Each structure stands twice: as C-alpha cells, then as structure tokens.
C-alpha cells in the first residue's frame, strides 16, 4: 500500500479506506454527469471489497482518497489493467464545495506521473461530452482527445455522447 501513498503540492493521495466510503459516496453522488444512484451501503461494500485486493494496482478498479490537511476532498478512480497491457483508465471527483480550485488537475497530474513511473505507458479517460470542467482537467494534463462515442451514455431518458482522452508516457 505504501507505494501508492504519495503527495502533490496540496494533497495526500492514497488508497481509499472503508471509513471514508460515506464521504466517497456523498461526493460521487454529487457528480454532475455521472452521479451514483446506488445506496450508500453498496458503496461501503464496494470499498470494503477493494481492501481484499492483492495490491492496489492489481487488475480492476481502485479508488484513491484525496486529502487536504487531513480532510477528504475527493477521489481518483483508477482501473488497472493486467501488467502486460500497461494501460490504466482514470476518473476523478471533487467535493462540490471545493471545485474550481485546481484540485482535480493537481491530483490527476500526480497520479499520472505515479502511473508512468510504475511502468504504465498509457492512461485513458472517458467523459460525458457535456462535462467541460472534466475535459479541461484532462487537457491541462496533456491528454489528447482521441474519439467521440455517439449517443453511448444514457442519462435519464436521453442519450449523450462521450469523449475519449488518452496520454502516453512519452507525451
């Protein structure tokens, strides 16, 4: 676990703990284009299950807490692929009261650097085409737009496009 505990200028980043699952659920439920719609008990169970993984970077999703002065401010979700693939998918969410302060950009940059230092060669992210703040976070961190998935995301009764971004270690 210690290999995946690191800091940026203002944040401590580490694997999410079960006792933070309620905060994670609250922040993710407030996400503007992909809010959680499951009960908090399912979120707690999901985070509890992550604690049984062989390592934080083993195949599958791992949630990382973002802490500022010891306070939970958001998370990064990383879907690790098998080592031979050397690719990860990234997502992020910041407490609504703290958005607009550059925390998502800072955390994303720190995580991408850690992923590349650990041998990953490609990091991808997919965002709702309406989510311009998330797109700006990715663009600030040198991700390039690679594609548009037309009407691939359902939100209520409407279908929306998703945008695919990626960054290579050599970028």
Judged by phi (left if over 0) then psi (alpha if -120 to 50, else beta), residue 155 lies in beta
Taking the C-alpha atoms of residue 95 and residue 83, their distance in angstroms, rounded to an integer, is 32
CA distance 155 to 110: 31
Q: What is this structure's pTM?
A: 0.93
> In this predicted structure, what is the pLDDT of residue 52?
87
Phi, psi of 24 (to 5 degrees): -60, -45
pLDDT number for residue 2: 54
CA–CA gap between residue 112 and residue 67 (Å, rounded): 17
CATH superfamily assigned to domain 2-168: Gcn5-related N-acetyltransferase (GNAT) (3.40.630.30)
Per-residue pLDDT tens digits of the chain, which is 171 residues long: 458 999 999 999 999 999 999 999 999 999 888 777 888 999 999 999 998 888 888 889 999 999 999 999 999 999 998 877 899 999 999 999 999 999 999 999 999 999 999 999 999 999 999 999 999 999 999 999 999 999 998 888 999 999 999 999 999
User: 1 by DSSP, 3-state: which?
Assistant: coil
- Coil/strand/helix, residue 13: strand
- Domain coordinates in residue numbering, the chain: 2-168
The two beta strands, 144-155 and 122-128, are unpaired
């Amino acid at each position: 676990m210690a290999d995946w505990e690191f800091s940026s200028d203002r944040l401590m980043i580490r694997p999410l703990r079960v006792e933070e699952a309620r905060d994670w659920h609250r922040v993710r439920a407030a996400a503007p284009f992909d809010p959680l719609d499951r009960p908090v008990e399912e979120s707690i169970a999901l985070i509890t299950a992550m604690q049984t993984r062989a390592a934080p970077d083993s195949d599958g999703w791992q949630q990382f807490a973002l802490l500022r002065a010891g306070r939970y401010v958001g998370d990064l979700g990383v879907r690790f692929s098998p080592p031979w693939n050397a690719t990860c998918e990234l997502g992020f969410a910041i407490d609504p009261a703290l958005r607009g302060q550059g925390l998502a950009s800072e955390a994303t940059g720190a995580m991408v650097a850690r992923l590349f230092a650990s041998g990953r060669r490609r990091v991808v992210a997919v965002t709702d085409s309406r989510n311009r703040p998330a797109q700006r976070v990715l663009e600030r961190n040198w991700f390039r737009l690679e594609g548009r998935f037309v009407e691939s995301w359902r939100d209520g009764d409407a279908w929306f496009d998703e945008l695919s971004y990626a960054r290579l270690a050599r970028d």
